[in-house]
Chain A
Amino acid sequence: MTISTTKRLAALALLASIALGACSSGAASSAPSSAASTARASTAPGGGALTGSIVIDGSSTVYPITEAVTEEFKKTNAGVQIGVAESGTGGGFKKFCAGETDINDASRPIKKADAAEGVACKTNGVDYVQLQVAIDGLTVAVNPRNSWANCLTLAQLKIIYGPDSPEKLTWDQVDPTFPKEPVVRFMPGADSGTFDYFTEAVNGKVDASTAFATQSEDDNVLVTGVAGDKNAIGYFGYAYYAENKAKIKAVGIDGGAGCVAPTETTIGDGTYKPLSRPLFIYPNTGKAKASPALKAYVDYYLANTAALAAEVGYVAVPETLAQQQVSAWNGAVPK
């Protein structure tokens, strides 16, 4: 009795997996044409005789751009298998320098002297080139009912977010003309690239920050927090502000040359300082030389990042800089 039951269960499982295997290949061929393909498909609809696989990992900030590029690239190159993961810039670099991934998305430059990054890449013979693909404008936002903080200087930001900031800070301590209300602070998680960049730009040193703020790894939570309290202030990527303009208000930043509000223009031409941070990809040049698919992918990336980055909420790199990236790429991996 037991044996037959066990055998029955095993047979059921086996049947299910076979059915699934058949099902998935069946479903693949009946799924919407523009995107589905399995490893078996060699002649792809839409042309493009390129085949191969590309593994991309890294920053969750750069991820949306890479996702957009991958989706568009796939439409004309259905024979290439691409997987995009987001383990974080650090985790991504470790895998990249171990030779496990083909491209690393990064929201900060690689740390050349670090044992798990630059040094590991050298030891393992992983050659790369740093390509900037977009700019993210870190936006400081306040509640729409906040009528006083329309422009803040870097010094004022430091009062709010600096390491010496007291636990109970009031707005009038930031500027005597502001009301005497508590400052309700929000900020991204201390391990995110946004945090690292902001603290370095505003407080002078990476990781130098007040601890008296509500932190969240999920920027949506920060938006909700700022939108929910009249005295709240928070900072996050521009995309999160752009999507929620009805709920929050951006603060102009005075980096020494007058008040500049974050817009696509000011971030793109560099006048929104110093809170514009570059976003990079690091392709493995050795692998690109050996794989036409990888080379084609990066070519496509550089050619289309301007449009696609804007679509997902980032700002395109200025034209001259973009040309430089293309030259650098073609120099490292000739056509």
Chain B
Amino acid sequence: MLFNTPQFFVFLAVVLGLFYTAPHSWRKPILLLASYFFYMSWNAKFVLLLLVLTTVDYFAGMWIERTAPSHRRKLFLIASLSANLGFLGFFKYFNFLAANLETVLRLPSHHWDIVLPLGISFHTFQSMSYVVDVYRGEQEAISSPLDYALFIAFFPQLVAGPIVRAREFFADLFHWRRPENDEILRGAFLTLFGLAKKMVLADQFAFVANQYFGNVSGHAGMLQAWSGTVAFALQIYFDFSGYTDMAIGMALLLGFHFPVNFRRPYLAQSITDFWHRWHISLSRWLRDYLYIPLGGNRHGRLMTYRNLMLTMLLGGLWHGASWNFVIWGGYHGVLLSAEKATGTAAVTVGRPWLQVPRMALTFALACIGWVFFRAATLHDSMQVIGQMLHGARGHMLLGPWYLRMIAFALLLAILEEKRDWFERVVKGPAWVYASAMAALLIAVELAGVTEVTMPFIYFQF
């Protein structure tokens, strides 16, 4: 059941209806049942995995809190992390590790048919952060298994985030209040806005990106390489941020407040700035649970660069089990380190004649990174990069319709950056809000890709 299907909206309507009409004490069970139903609608048997991980981390949290600081306490932490990483490693990285071992040991190749459970990368990270926070004493252990299970399985963010911290989620859960009118308006608008981003923009750019990356050698030419890659850059942004908007919007409608996950990343002036705007909840997780524990920037320049590289390499690997993702992470690690070394990470304030070239350069660098993210093989990636840097001129794959969409999206992004149009619409007169909502509905109806249901890209992670 994908967010961009009519079935999901029927499900959402039923959940909202039941949630708000049921007695207060039934609301948590309703949300939990709905979340498990949502998960099982994809693959019912993997619900056992979700239950096992939830049980392990629930008890780990309880035991860690009850145990005085000791080796035993640490053992509980290690056991919990091992369970999470073990399952993640098996389902996501087994074939990758096996293939590499086979290559190194020159063994015959064998591919195991392992299905990746939905959202495993997200809910294991969320679960691990909870156990670590309890270990650090930053979070009280949750005594109700139902509450904890809801934290892990809450359907708006179960499959692709945002990665919510336990204290944020439980603050809402324990002090739940009916959403204010403004929050309902914002939630409804975000949900529809996210759907429009996915169906009207992401899915249309997907046609061009899939056409290009599906046959890289058949599209030789610099303009093909750049336009195909730009199409993917826009597809992945609108796809993932559309999903996130929907998740945040639906959570708001249920009285929960999720953290911001995207802040117009393609207006970033440096790669450092880009990572402050792209998949913010993952960046925050990597910073708090990997980069800082590794030492962060506290032990001199070289150690800082090492920590950055390690964080980004693992961040890349988190996205997928292939060398392409490792290279993508490493590429960003190198750029972040280079910016730190040259002092070019900070954003320019004012002076648009400096800002615009910096944004363009950052976007181009991000696009080069996306090649590794999207190309099917390393060979394809190198071919695309080669075409981007020194291919023959070729021709654009993005026609006038796509260029108009890009111009419109850029205008909206700049207006949001400078004028905060979203808040103006939500808080504006009734006719402004209603017209914007109606325009989004019309856009989804007339310009959305409805012939095929394209899954969200991050659902595969």
- Do chains A and B stick together as partners? no
Residues of B whose CB lies within 8 Å of any CB of A are: none
Chain A positions near chain B (C-beta within 8 angstroms): none
